Structure 1
Amino acid sequence: MAYTVKQLAKLSGVSVRTLHFYDEIGLLKPAYVGDNNYRYYQDDELLKLQQILFYKKLNFSLEDIQKIVCDKNFDTLKALQSHKSILENSLDKTKNLIQTIEKTINHLRGIKQMKLEEIFEGFDADKQAMYENFLIEQGVDEKKIENVRNKVDTWSKDDWMQNKNEADDLYAQFASAIEHHLSPSSSEVQALTKKHFEMTKKFWTPNKESYIGLSQLYGSHPDFVKFYNKIHPNLLPFLVEAMEVFANRELK
């Protein structure tokens, strides 16, 4: 079945103007143009639009999306499996937070008393002391760690949640890059790594040596290994390599 621009816009929720723009930049071409000069879209174009919307949801730029979905080696099935994995991981976290909310409601209604530690369940409790000791063992300046500790002590729960959500989005983009066989040294992945570096700067500003040290912490500490493996089984070595490339190229 073929769909006009207007029909596809109604079906997908994407405006006619946006579909015209996608055609102009070569991101989503119609299957054919009729004698009436109307654009017509078929199943392949609908699936491609779905992929575009998935990547937009993951905060990819249109330029990066075009490089991915217009690649001749792009595999729609693998992409869908990757999206499914990312969404399932996000769903698990959401379910955990919903359970915490339900416990809090019951606690406030006097139905069931919450344990103190349950109040913050699902909010990625900070194992600060453990990581600090590990970093010191890796040779990171203890004064820098003290500065980080003082800074995060002023953060509210909302600050932590905002940082967590930004990190979740970023790691989802890294996972998607893996599924599309991008190299850790590619411009697309290095752009993501720059975002990771900027996120790190919210806490402290690493130099070349300490950013590589942070990557080694990720790669060797069991908490981080477990965390990254839940997102994607290949994310950790991929991220470590990307960070090392970034440090060697961009930092002193």
Structure 2
Amino acid sequence: MTPQHPTPEYLERCRVAMAAEQTKSLAETNNWSHVDKHQVHLDWDALYKELAPLLDGAQPSSSEIQTLIARHYSIASRFYPPSREAYIGMALFYQDNPDMKTFHNAYHPKMVDFLNEAIFTYAQNQL
């Protein structure tokens, strides 16, 4: 069970899980050769453009936002289906990596922080 208020140790386990699952998947799939990366980026772009206008009024845990996060998880799963911890680790990667943070926050200045909370909620309740 995911902690309600995650500890730094739990969050670090999530970072490690994402790195391990991603490395394993890359090795097993010839660097994700099975993924149409262009289509993935188009689908994430469309999703983020749909999500961005909602950030100032919606709660990350709302059913509308969680439906969008389910789409995000589905897109991410084209690479490999991340575990609960690895999916949370992905949100942390968006926050920790300066290029990913810049990329996501270009859609909305609060995008990374919002995704972090929304993905945590989704992972806690659905994975």
Could you tell me the TM-score, scaled by structure 1's length? 0.41
Q: Secondary structure at the match of 2:55?
A: helix
Alignment partners' CA distance in 2, 1:171 and 1:202: 17
**RCO higher in 1 or 2 (8 Å CA, sep ≥ 6)?**
2
What's the CA shift string for 1:31-51, capped at 9, x where partnerless? xxxxxxxxxxxxxxxxxxxxx
Does the 8 A contact of 2:51 with 2:68 survive in 1?
A: yes
- Structure 1 residues 156-171: aligned runs within 5 Å: 159-171=36-48
Q: Secondary structure at the match of 2:60?
A: coil
Structure 1 residues 184, 143: CA separation in 2 closer, same or farther (over 3 Å shift)? closer
Alignment partners' CA distance in 2, 1:144 and 1:237: 22
Q: Which residue of 2 aligns with 1:148?
A: 26
- Among all aligned residue pairs of Structure 1 and Structure 2, give the percentage whose two residues are the same amino acid: 29
Q: Which residue of 1 aligns with 2:16?
A: 139
Q: Which residue of 1 aligns with 2:51?
A: 174
Alignment partners' CA distance in 2, 1:144 and 1:250: 20
Alignment partners' CA distance in 1, 2:116 and 2:21: 25
Aligned residues: 114
Q: Which amino acid aligns with 2:59?
A: S
**Following TM superposition, by how much is the alpha carbon of 1:146 offset from its aligned partner in structure 2, in angstroms?**
3.1
Q: Which residue of 1 aligns with 2:99?
A: 223
Q: Structure 2 regions of 5+ residues with no counterpart?
A: 1-11
Alignment partners' CA distance in 2, 1:208 and 1:146: 16
Rg comparison, structure with higher value: 1
**Following TM superposition, by how much is the alpha carbon of 1:153 offset from its aligned partner in structure 2, in angstroms?**
4.5
Alignment partners' CA distance in 2, 1:208 and 1:185: 16
Alignment partners' CA distance in 2, 1:208 and 1:153: 20
Q: Which residue of 2 aligns with 1:192?
A: 68
Aligned CA-pair RMSD: 2.4
What's the CA shift string for 1:12-62, capped at 9, x where partnerless? xxxxxxxxxxxxxxxxxxxxxxxxxxxxxxxxxxxxxxxxxxxxxxxxxxx
Alignment partners' CA distance in 1, 2:116 and 2:25: 24
- Structure 1 residues 35-184: aligned runs within 5 Å: 138-140=15-17, 142=20, 144-151=22-29, 152-155=31-34, 159-179=36-56, 181-184=57-60
